[in-house]
Structures are given as structure tokens and as C-alpha cells.
Amino acid sequence: MMAELKYEIVKECGVLSQSPSGWTKELNLISWNDRTPKYDIRDWAPDHAKMGKGCTLSADEVILLRDLLNEIDL
């Protein structure tokens, strides 16, 4: 049996995209299981009651990701 996952969205940073079903891909600052908040990119149901798989990044990793994205030609 899986342990209950506890989370608190500390800061909603922004929506990256929205699907026709209303789910949104968001960047948020989230505290997982009462730990130090980390940046998180994942899909969320409209009421934030359900979530998809995502990617969690420390502040240092977000800075490195920003720098990498600034270096590529889009």
C-alpha cells in the first residue's frame, strides 16, 4: 500500500499550457511531505485535486535550466 502523499502549493508560478479537458501544465513551488519547497512542473486537474507525473527541481537546478535554455536557438 502506498503512503499518502502530502503537498502544499506554496506559490503558483504560472501555467505553461492547457489541454481541451481543462488540465494545465504548471510551474509551481511545492512542499512535498512537509519538506523544503522545490520547483515543480506537472499536469494538474482544474481543481488541483489530481496530478500527473512531473519533474521536481531545486532552485539551483532551475537556474541551470534557465541558463541552458538561454543558450539554445528556439
Q: Is residue 2 part of a domain?
A: no
Low pLDDT (below 70) residues in the chain? 2
Cβ atoms of 57 and 39 closer than 8 Å: yes
Angle at 32 between CA 42 and CA 1, to 5 degrees: 90
Cβ atoms of 9 and 29 closer than 8 Å: yes
Structural domain boundaries, residue 61: 7-71
CATH number of the domain within which 22 lies: 2.30.31.70
Q: Is residue 1 part of a domain?
A: no
Q: What is the reported pTM?
A: 0.88
Q: Is residue 15 part of a domain?
A: yes
Based on the structure, what is the number of domains in the chain? 1
- pLDDT computed for residue 2 by the predictor: 65
- pLDDT computed for residue 26 by the predictor: 98
Query: Which single residue is written with the C-alpha cell 502549493?
Result: 9
